[in-house]
Chains A and B, each alone.
Chain A
Amino acid sequence: MEKYIFYILSVIIIVFAVASVSSRKMLRSVIYLLFVLCGIAGIYFLIDYNFLAAIQLTVYAGGIIVLIIFSVLLVHHIEMELEIAKPFRKMMTGLICLLGLGVFLYTIYNNEFNVVENQVTTTTYDIGAKLLSYESGGFILPFEVISVLLLASMIGAIVIAKGRKLNDKNDEAL
């Protein structure tokens, strides 16, 4: 059963990813991305990382996608069609990507993974304890650093986006 769910999810992910990078309508492209992210959240559910799936859905689907949609709406007309690259360029890039994919898959399939059969369930409690632990192997320091990073990026985003309007009044001030 899980096997088929995975295949379905995989197809969803790949199809919508392709759609997302090839759609000529901006907003559609973003929505396809949303489907991809949801599919990945599905994979997290499948491998029993529920907390991670929740984060994926809230942060990505709920936060980042909304942010991108806002920016799309701010800078585009909905009906505007995107330019597309030249066919030669597309072909070359596709070739490079296929070559790279070949290298990846070749490497992966030639590698003997030391898989451990298990059915361990990771609880949110475990993740939280690990994140806040300052014992050996704890992640309290990166956790703090990430929080500072988020604060900094928030301030930076506000400052940059606020910008300075290029109108006459400002020109005089300059």
Chain B
Amino acid sequence: MNISYIVLIPLIPLAVFLLLGLNSKKIKPTISGYIGVLGLSISAVLSYYTAYKYFFVSGKVDGVYQTIVNKSVWMNFTETLHIDMGILIDPISVMMLVVVSTVSLMVNIYSRGYMKGDDGYTRFFSYLSLFTFSMYGLVLATNLFQIYIFWELVGVSSFLLIGYYYTKPSAVSAAKKAFIVTRFADLGFLIGILIMGYFTGTYDFETLNNPEGSVILNWASTSFMGLSVITWALILIFIGGAGKSAMFPLHIWLPDAMEGPTPVSALIHAATMVVAGVYLVARLFPMFYFVEHGFALNVVAYVGAFSALFAAIIAITQTDIKRVLAFSTMSQLGYMMLALGVSGYDGHEGVGYMASMFHLFTHAMFKALLFLGAGSVIHAVHSNYLKDMGGLRKHMPITNITFLIAALAIAGVPPFAGFWSKDEILVAAFEHNKLIYYVGVFVAGLTAFYMFRIYFGIFWGKDKTYEHPPHESPLSMTLPLMVLALLSIVGGFIPFSELITPDKLGFEAHLNYPLAAIAISVGVIGIALAWVFYKKENSLSDKYATAFGPFYKWASDKFYFDEIYLFVTKKILFNGISRPFAWFDRNVVDGTMNLIGNSTVKTANKIKGLQSGKFQDYAFSFAMGAVVIAIVFIYLWTN
């Protein structure tokens, strides 16, 4: 299979970014929108073509999906250790190509309507293209270092887009927060990469992931504090992934990131960038699975399960619809992580891995749809808060229906996409770890509940007083909604188990009817509860909120995690560590320098009389020096 054209997929968005970014003042906004959409359409078409060719025509050799690599050496450290740049094609990267190109194309089309009339219209599109380029590069990376480079690039573009309204202080601080928190996590990632490179001598995914390769077979050769060094490296790399994927306890940036424009939230903070952490773990899945009998993988599973539960509880209490969606995203990412964590490797055992990727795919579609729908609503009522909304189903029929489809999909109601992927996750969890299974089921119920809470809150109930009557959004915004809604309906029927498995062989997946029935009933219970509580305006919800008392308060304040971080950074780090260091720097380091400077000045003041300005004084010194030098070097020095 010829894959050299695939390099165009990331390069076209890069070209668009440069074109728009460098000429942002010259290009008319409408034209820049068209350029962005056109560039991404080409990339998307190429991605779809690649996916078709890979999955259905030539990717499979002897029943196994091949890993195709096309790379060249970029930076040489030693004979064996070098950093390559290139593209790697295997089932998950092709799947991610499809996800990224679909969502980012839809978001671009949507943004043409949503951002209309904004000052930084062209800037916005250039940032979007930069992000898409970085994401493609991340997906196609052939080695840890390349993925790290693009990892940071998506971080930067996320920073730029969150801080898009840079005149708003809250947006600026949110952008900084996102950047610093993910940077902090990436420090772990970088250390992990360096450890990995040092102990295995390679960064290549192919070499690292080979189950019969020396890296995996020799995991026990070096140990540190009771664990294999490779396990430590994997855990550190997972910290990087957890930072990007907003896993507990590095999740605090994601809710604040909702300060960015809504399309950005849909693209970056729901569908693509935040799944990079999941993708990273999936990318290194054989290592996670085989090294130390999956110790690191268990960490992934428990962190994922806890994050899913934690975020779902918070999501119930939030009143800002974008924040609800943000916590929902975090919860679903936890789902994907836990699915990876409970996965096996061979044959049907790999159902967790498959389910995780499946859920990544479907989640990208319906979560992007939810965000875009929320954006459409916000566009109409100019508020993020649930209390300002109500009865919008009459005014915005398309948004209403597409939002409903997405909500049903995420709640796990068949035949929508979310049901199929979530079901597979629960099957995998059931087979491997009962505790995680119960958490998963509970979270599924919570998900259905909070999702329909905001659905009913937005579209049902009484009309609120609006500034102007809300109206349906323009076609450029509703078209992506409809496309994504279609994908959310049919996405579940893609036979993922035959396409994406850890051993790349594929297997026949069957619906586990009892488990599916449980999942559906939990979802339906959640929806029904939401119906009871929020369909009509009543005081039931308030009653229960008071019944839960302090717990409700905790949850709605996000369990005070922001405050804990602030306490740790401001009180402990700043006062306990930074202050003494600053004092040391100011008084000892600077003091030494000042001492040198001052003593120089003082000495100069004392001896400046020597510089009389009278040339005869200089001549005197010169004559004396000449005589002394003559005596020393002609008579005393010669032996």
Chain A interface residues toward B at CB < 8 A: 89, 92-93, 96-97, 99-100, 103, 106-107
Residue-wise, chain B 597-639 has the 8 Å CB interface mask toward A (1 for contact) of: 0000000000000000000000010011011001100110000
Contacts of A97 in B (CB 8 A): 623
Q: Which residue of B lies closest to A106 (CB)?
A: B635
Contacts of A107 in B (CB 8 A): 634
CA distance A17 to B631 in the complex (A): 26
Contact of A103 among B620, B624, B630 (CB under 8 A): B630
CA distance A15 to B134 in the complex (A): 93
The answer on a CB contact under 8 Å between B627 and A99 is: yes
* Shortest Cβ gap from B638 to chain A (Å): 12
Chain B interface residues toward A at CB < 8 A: 620, 623-624, 626-627, 630-631, 634-635
Contact of A100 among B620, B627, B635 (CB under 8 A): B627
* Shortest Cβ gap from A37 to chain B (Å): 23
CA distance A28 to B635 in the complex (A): 40
Q: Which residue of B lies closest to A93 (CB)?
A: B620
Contacts of B620 in A (CB 8 A): 89, 92-93, 96
CA distance A106 to B627 in the complex (A): 13
Q: Which residue of A lies closest to B624 (CB)?
A: A96
Contacts of A106 in B (CB 8 A): 635
CA distance A93 to B620 in the complex (A): 7
* Shortest Cβ gap from B391 to chain A (Å): 86
What are 12 pairs between A and B in contact, CB < 8 Å? A89-B620, A93-B620, A93-B623, A97-B623, A99-B627, A100-B626, A100-B627, A100-B630, A103-B630, A103-B631, A106-B635, A107-B634
Output the residue of A92, A100, A107 with the most chain B CB within 10 A. Answer: A100
The answer on a CB contact under 8 Å between B623 and A96 is: yes
Q: What is the interface of chain B mostly: helix, strand, loop, or mixed?
A: helix
* Shortest Cβ gap from A129 to chain B (Å): 38
* Shortest Cβ gap from B458 to chain A (Å): 82
* Shortest Cβ gap from B627 to chain A (Å): 5
Q: Which residue of A lies closest to B619 (CB)?
A: A93
Contacts of B635 in A (CB 8 A): 103, 106
CA distance A107 to B635 in the complex (A): 9
Contacts of A89 in B (CB 8 A): 620
Q: Which residue of A lies closest to B617 (CB)?
A: A89
* Shortest Cβ gap from A23 to chain B (Å): 18
* Shortest Cβ gap from B631 to chain A (Å): 6
Contacts of A99 in B (CB 8 A): 627, 631
The answer on a CB contact under 8 Å between B634 and A100 is: no
Contacts of B624 in A (CB 8 A): 96
CA distance A99 to B624 in the complex (A): 9
* Shortest Cβ gap from B164 to chain A (Å): 60
Q: Which residue of A lies closest to B625 (CB)?
A: A96
Output the residue of A96, A97, A107 with the most chain B CB within 10 A. Answer: A96
Contacts of B634 in A (CB 8 A): 103, 107
Contacts of B627 in A (CB 8 A): 96, 99-100, 103
Contacts of A100 in B (CB 8 A): 623, 626-627, 630
* Shortest Cβ gap from B622 to chain A (Å): 10
CA distance A97 to B627 in the complex (A): 9
CA distance A99 to B626 in the complex (A): 11
* Shortest Cβ gap from A57 to chain B (Å): 30
* Shortest Cβ gap from A157 to chain B (Å): 20
Q: Which residue of A lies closest to B620 (CB)?
A: A93
Contacts of A92 in B (CB 8 A): 620
CA distance A96 to B620 in the complex (A): 9
CA distance A96 to B634 in the complex (A): 17
CA distance A96 to B623 in the complex (A): 7
Q: Which residue of B lies closest to A100 (CB)?
A: B627
Q: Which residue of B lies closest to A98 (CB)?
A: B627
* Shortest Cβ gap from A102 to chain B (Å): 9
Q: What 6 pairs across the A-B complex have the smallest Cβ distances?
A: A100-B627, A103-B630, A96-B624, A99-B627, A96-B623, A96-B627
CA distance A96 to B626 in the complex (A): 10
* Shortest Cβ gap from B625 to chain A (Å): 10
Contacts of A96 in B (CB 8 A): 620, 623-624, 627
CA distance A100 to B630 in the complex (A): 9
* Shortest Cβ gap from B630 to chain A (Å): 5
Apart from A100-B630, A103-B631, A103-B634, 15 more pairs, CB < 8 Å: A89-B620, A93-B623, A96-B620, A96-B623, A96-B624, A96-B627, A97-B623, A99-B627, A100-B623, A100-B626, A100-B627, A103-B627, A103-B630, A106-B635, A107-B634
Contacts of B626 in A (CB 8 A): 100
CA distance A149 to B620 in the complex (A): 30
CA distance A98 to B517 in the complex (A): 117
CA distance A169 to B12 in the complex (A): 75
CA distance A93 to B623 in the complex (A): 9
* Shortest Cβ gap from A87 to chain B (Å): 15
Q: Which residue of B lies closest to A97 (CB)?
A: B623
CA distance A93 to B631 in the complex (A): 17
* Shortest Cβ gap from B501 to chain A (Å): 91
* Shortest Cβ gap from A100 to chain B (Å): 5
CA distance A93 to B622 in the complex (A): 12
CA distance A106 to B620 in the complex (A): 22
Contacts of B631 in A (CB 8 A): 99, 103
Contacts of A93 in B (CB 8 A): 620, 623
CA distance A97 to B622 in the complex (A): 12
* Shortest Cβ gap from B317 to chain A (Å): 82
CA distance A92 to B634 in the complex (A): 23
Contacts of B630 in A (CB 8 A): 100, 103
* Shortest Cβ gap from B619 to chain A (Å): 10
Q: Which residue of A lies closest to B623 (CB)?
A: A96
Contacts of B623 in A (CB 8 A): 93, 96-97, 100
* Shortest Cβ gap from A83 to chain B (Å): 12
CA distance A96 to B617 in the complex (A): 13
CA distance A92 to B627 in the complex (A): 13
* Shortest Cβ gap from B446 to chain A (Å): 89
Q: Which residue of A lies closest to B631 (CB)?
A: A103
* Shortest Cβ gap from A22 to chain B (Å): 16
CA distance A166 to B627 in the complex (A): 44
Output the residue of B627, B630, B631 with the most chain A CB within 10 A. Answer: B627
Q: Which residue of B lies closest to A101 (CB)?
A: B627
